[in-house]
């Protein structure tokens, strides 16, 4: 039987070992919450590691990310912490308004100013390029928000170690 997604397209059923997933999630949860803050030289202050950041690794736009994506983000956490600890230059900055909290009786959300900063680095044994996102809502603390590969890992990242002058 074929698996059809919402768009009516064929989709391979992704098998995942839920025991492995849950063990990995708990391992990275322990790593994440073992430290409350990481000092960042760009901000010259501590970056908070709170439950909002860990939640965002699992959910996006109030929907759960697929298990493979969650595992990827979890596995990049140790590298993200190194990037936060060492980055003194931002690569991207965004500012805007977002709805926060629960809807009122009128069905509307309160909005607050939100800022996002991105740090990028080539890091790790396999020299992958990752992007680390930090976020602040209103006058609150700057927090860790997300980590992701800069581009697709399979065939997408081309990092040169030799002959860069010829490319």
| 58 within domain boundaries | yes
For 161, other C-beta atoms within 10 Å of its C-beta total 6
pLDDT of residue 154: 57
Tokens of 160: 């040169």
**Is residue 116 in a domain?**
yes
- pTM, full prediction: 0.80
Total domains present in the chain: 1
pLDDT class of 66 with cuts at 50, 70, 90? very high
Per the DSSP assignment, residues forming a β-bridge with 81 are none
The DSSP result for 75-142, as a single string, is HHHHHHHHHHHH--S-SEEEEEEEEES---TTSPPEEEEEEEEEEEEEETTTTEEEEEEEEEETTS--
Residue in 83, 89, 64 with CA at minimum distance from that of residue 131: 83
Give domain status of residue 41, yes or no: yes
- Could you tell me the pLDDT band of residue 15, with boundaries at 50, 70 and 90? low
The answer on pLDDT for 3 being more than 50 is no
| Residue 148, domain extent | 31-154
Is residue 2 in a domain?
no
Residue 6 is assigned to a structural domain of this protein: no
**Per the domain annotation, does 131 fall within a domain?**
yes
Q: What is the distance between the alpha carbons of residues 80 and 146, in angstroms, rounded to a whole number?
A: 9
């Amino acid at each position: 039987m074929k698996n059809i997604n919402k768009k009516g397209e064929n989709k391979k059923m992704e098998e995942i070992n839920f025991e492995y997933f849950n063990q990995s999630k708990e391992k990275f949860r322990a790593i994440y919450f073992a430290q409350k803050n990481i000092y960042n030289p760009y901000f010259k202050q501590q970056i908070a590691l709170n439950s909002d950041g860990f939640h965002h690794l699992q959910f996006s736009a109030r929907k759960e990310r697929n298990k493979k994506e969650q595992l990827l983000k979890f596995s990049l956490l140790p590298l993200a912490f190194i990037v936060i600890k060492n980055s003194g230059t931002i690569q991207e900055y965004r500012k805007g308004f977002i709805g926060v909290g629960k809807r009122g009786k009128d069905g509307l959300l309160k909005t607050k100013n939100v800022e996002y900063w991105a740090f990028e680095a080539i890091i790790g044994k396999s020299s992958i390029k990752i992007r680390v996102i930090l976020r602040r809502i209103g006058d609150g603390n700057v927090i860790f928000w997300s980590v992701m590969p800069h581009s697709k890992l399979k065939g997408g990242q081309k990092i040169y170690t030799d002959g860069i002058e010829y490319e």
